[in-house]
C-alpha cells in the first residue's frame, strides 16, 4: 500500500489538500476561493490597459524641423 503524493496545504484553511479538489482540501474551500475572486479581494497585478502612447505623438513635433 502506497501513500498518495503529498499535496501542498489548502491555501484557504491550511489543511492537507485533496487531489480531487486541488489545490484545495474540499469543494467548500474551492468555493470560498472563488467567492474571493468575485468579491474583488484578489488584486490582479497585470494591467488591463496598456500605457498611453501619447508621448510618441507629442514628441513627433520638432521645432527644428521648420528651420531650413
DSSP the chain: --PPPP-PBPTTT-SBPPGGGTTSSSHHHHHHHHHHHHHT-SPP-S-SSPPP-HHHHHHH--GGGG--
Nearer to Zn ion, 13 or 34 (CB): 13
Among 7, 8, 9, 12, binds Zn ion (CB under 5 A): 12
Among 9, 25, 49, 51, binds Zn ion (CB under 5 A): 25
Query: Interface with Zn ion by CB under 5 A: which residues?
Result: 10, 12-13, 25, 29
Which residue ranges are tagged as binding site for Zn(2+)?
10, 13, 25, 29
Amino acid at each position: 500500500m502506497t501513500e498518495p503524493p503529498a499535496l501542498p496545504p489548502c491555501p484557504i484553511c491550511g489543511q492537507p489538500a485533496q487531489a480531487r479538489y486541488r489545490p484545495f482540501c474540499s469543494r467548500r474551500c474551492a468555493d470560498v476561493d472563488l467567492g474571493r475572486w468575485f468579491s474583488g479581494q484578489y488584486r490582479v497585478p497585470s494591467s488591463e490597459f496598456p500605457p498611453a502612447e501619447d508621448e510618441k505623438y507629442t514628441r513627433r513635433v520638432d521645432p527644428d524641423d521648420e528651420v531650413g
